Structure 1
Amino acid sequence: MGIIDPSITYTFFYAFPITLLLLLLLPFYQAAYNGKPLRLNWPSRIALIGLMIVLAFNGAIIPGVVAVLFFGIGLHWVLGRWQSGVGMSLWQRIIRITQAPVLPLFLLGLFMLLCLYSLYIGLNEEESTVSVLPIWERYMRLPSGIFWQLSQLGLIVLLVAASLNIVLIRRLLPDSPGSQRVISIFRWLVLFAVIYLLLLPLGATDHTARLSSDVTLFSQSLLG
């Protein structure tokens, strides 16, 4: 746990909810990966909705991740349906894009609405009423925050392992739908990370800046 974050408390408040989010999205990912319709019985649907409620109001990390992630899912869906409609008229392509599966659209749409409502509630918390840093200053602090994250072993191992896998797939494996899918997933992950980092300063407050500074000083004291 210390590899992910020096603070176990932060691990439970940030990494653990992300793990639950991956669990929630697993059936959707399996259906999309196998190219089959999403099939869930009623107990599974109720369990997913309950997990959505817990995650949406668990903290600030999940709503932001879901907003960026679902933007990517929507963009991927639109591009895929548009490209597969080659030879059709413009109106036929638009209709094709709107023909989304009902069950995934309902469940993911409900989750998105819960996360948006959570973000709206967060606007009224005490931390959001204090004076905030100017936008330009938040973005100026962003590179130092990224550098500090890269100084931790866990993120470096993750990035090196992922990049090495992509290099080995491109150089050693023959070109196949499976290898192209892995490379495509990696590209979407990079896009997600870039968008999330660019949006991150828009939600920063003085409290967040002070907290980040305190965590940095505490970590430096532990390292001597």
Structure 2
Amino acid sequence: MLKRHWHYLLLLFLLFDFGYSFWHYMQFALDGDLAPVVWPSEGFSHVLRDPFGLRVLLHNDRYPAPNRFFAHFFLFEYFRHVPLWLQHLLSPLDSLYAACALVKITAHALIVYALAVAVSNRTHVLHEHFLLAAVLVSPLLQTSGFNYQMGVVDWSITYTAFYALPLALLLLFFLPFFRAAVHGTPLRVSWWGYAGLVGLALIVSFSSPTIPGTALVVCPAVLLVGWYRRFAARSGQPWLLRASRALGDIPRPVLILFGLLSALSLYSLFIGLNNSENLWTNLPLAQRYARLPLGVYYQFTSQFLTDEPLTGVGLPLLLAMLLVNAFLLGRQQRTPLGTHTLAVLKLLALFALIYLLLLPLGGYRSYREFIVRRDTILPITIGMIAAFALSAFYLLTHLPKPSRWQYATAVAAFLAVFTLADQFQPNKSNACERALFTTLAQSPAPIVRLPATCTMMDWQPLTDYRKSELNGQMLQYWGITKTPKRYYQQ
């Protein structure tokens, strides 16, 4: 009975993991960019009025985030409506935290779904292969534990909207092409499919600081390699004829959609040069590159992450497992899927190297002292998780039976480490912030003094009441306070 229905145990684990993750997402405090983006502040209002940065192109305007319209628009519309809808079931304060958790669990679920389909080549969520692939992915999406080092869904709701959610949509864009390349699934795109993929290309290109760079590493490389292979196969023809016919031989969906995403990403990078946030702190390019090796080193250790032990072992463990999988794949009898899986691991290493070398070109932020941080390397982190799941899935389904059980035990222990590490930490909950909101709402004063025991809808405790104006307006809009109030913390 257990052998026939073992996949239901995987389903139970996934349900528990998703439920726990959602509950955990409910515990995070609010960040300091939420009110300026949702109200919005004067600086962020520019991007909502100029979705595609035409004023940058035509008039050389400079304002915050000119190439991230869709992330700003999503946060603006979502947090002006969804918390109010949820108030039919929850209190105003609970509805706000629930709205944040829903965004995070949606990004979480989309990433698990896209990677599970890519790994298993199954779209039915109850198929045993899909469930196995999902279980290989989900524990690695740390809500706590190793989140500071390799977090995919950030504790910050605005970072989730600008990083994890757009990258989840990018995974959906690449999904049919990945299945065709790795699993041999026929690449047939209907006109509805074209419309959806064009829409995804447009949205992701103007949502996240990591998407244009990722797309411009992947898409031109795929097109160039595809063109060269077809060009080399047409020996004996005139060079120009070979080149044009090789270009025409590239599958039309790949040529059109990858070309479109490349063009949109290039334009997004161009208008992003006029991001006024890049003027906050400036560091010469040579110094940025000089800091890059230290950034990589610190990212693989616990230094500069948190003061807690073992927070820096997540990425080294994942990298070690990838190396073990690559070794085992190299010793296996070659099958088409095994060859493609090993190629994915090699291409990931090449992508990570190129991406890291391009990273300093994206500017400098003082809060990313060494360039590399969990948000800036998120495409690499997701790539490592995908490569682990793909290689582990192949080995679990192709190793000889005695070796398969030994390897399955090692994978179970590896996933158990991540599952056990991802524990709720009461000292990092939003309980303190909730108490401050309650105190603010109950005070009759227009300007309220609050203790600086924790942050309150900001990145750090606010000591100047004038900086709390937007927060006070948003809190009144959400019904948490009856009137707009200002506050300061001492």
Indicate whether the TM-score tops 0.5: yes
- Letter matched to residue 198 of structure 1: L
Q: Does 1:202 align with 2:361?
A: yes
Q: Does 1:112 align with 2:262?
A: yes
- Letter matched to residue 151 of structure 2: D
Aligned to 2:337: 178
CA deviation after TM superposition for structure 1 residue 117, in Å: 1.8
SS at 1:139's partner residue?
A: helix
TM-score, scaled to structure 1: 0.81
Aligned to 2:327: 167
- Letter matched to residue 236 of structure 2: M
Could you tell me whether the CA contact under 8 Å between 1:5 and 1:11 is conserved in 2? no
Please list the CA deviations of residues 194-214 of structure 1 after superposition, one character each: whole Å capped at 9, or x if unmatched: 111111112222xx2x02149
Tell me the distance in 1 between the aligned counterparts of 2:164 and 2:313. 15
Percent of residue pairs bearing the same amino acid type: 37
Tell me the distance in 2 between the aligned counterparts of 1:135 and 1:29. 35
Aligned counterpart in structure 1 of residue 297 of structure 2, from 136, 147, 152? 147
Tell me the distance in 2 between the aligned counterparts of 1:128 and 1:111. 24
Matches within 5 A, 1:1-224: 1=142, 2=144, 3=146, 4-5=150-151, 7-9=154-156, 10-35=159-184, 38-85=187-234, 87-89=235-237, 91=239, 93-99=242-248, 100-129=250-279, 132-151=282-301, 152-171=312-331, 173-205=332-364, 208=365, 210-213=366-369
12-21 vs 113-122, greater mean Cα deviation: 12-21
**CA distance 1:162–1:83, shift in 2 (3 Å):** farther
SS at 2:367's partner residue?
A: helix
Tell me the distance in 2 between the aligned counterparts of 1:61 and 1:34. 27
- Please list every run of 5 or more consecutive structure 1 residues that lacks an aligned counterpart in the other structure: 217-221
- Letter matched to residue 8 of structure 1: W
2-11 vs 116-125, greater mean Cα deviation: 2-11
Tell me the distance in 2 between the aligned counterparts of 1:8 and 1:84. 50
Could you tell me whether the CA contact under 8 Å between 1:17 and 1:62 is conserved in 2? yes
Aligned to 1:219: none
Could you tell me whether the CA contact under 8 Å between 1:38 and 1:104 is conserved in 2? no
**CA distance 1:181–1:161, shift in 2 (3 Å):** same
**CA distance 1:121–1:107, shift in 2 (3 Å):** same
Could you tell me whether the CA contact under 8 Å between 1:122 and 1:128 is conserved in 2? no
- Letter matched to residue 183 of structure 1: L
Question: Higher RCO, 1 or 2 (CA under 8 Å, sep at least 6)?
Answer: 1
- Letter matched to residue 191 of structure 1: L
Q: Which has the higher helix share?
A: 1
CA deviation after TM superposition for structure 1 residue 162, in Å: 1.7
Tell me the distance in 1 between the aligned counterparts of 2:314 and 2:174. 24
Please list the CA deviations of residues 101-120 of structure 1 after superposition, one character each: whole Å capped at 9, or x if unmatched: 22321122222222122112
Please list the CA deviations of residues 69-92 of structure 1 after superposition, one character each: whole Å capped at 9, or x if unmatched: 11321232134324434x434525
CA deviation after TM superposition for structure 1 residue 11, in Å: 4.9
SS at 1:58's partner residue?
A: coil
Tell me the distance in 1 between the aligned counterparts of 2:242 and 2:215. 27
**CA distance 1:94–1:44, shift in 2 (3 Å):** closer
Aligned to 2:83: none
Please list the CA deviations of residues 18-69 of structure 1 after superposition, one character each: whole Å capped at 9, or x if unmatched: 2221111101122233556531223332222222222111121101110111
- Please list every run of 5 or more consecutive structure 2 residues that lacks an aligned counterpart in the other structure: 1-141, 302-311, 374-427, 429-490
Please list the CA deviations of residues 137-190 of structure 1 after superposition, one character each: whole Å capped at 9, or x if unmatched: 11110011101221233322332222111100112x113333222222222111
- Number of corresponding residues: 212
TM-score, scaled to structure 2: 0.40
RMSD of aligned alpha carbons: 2.7
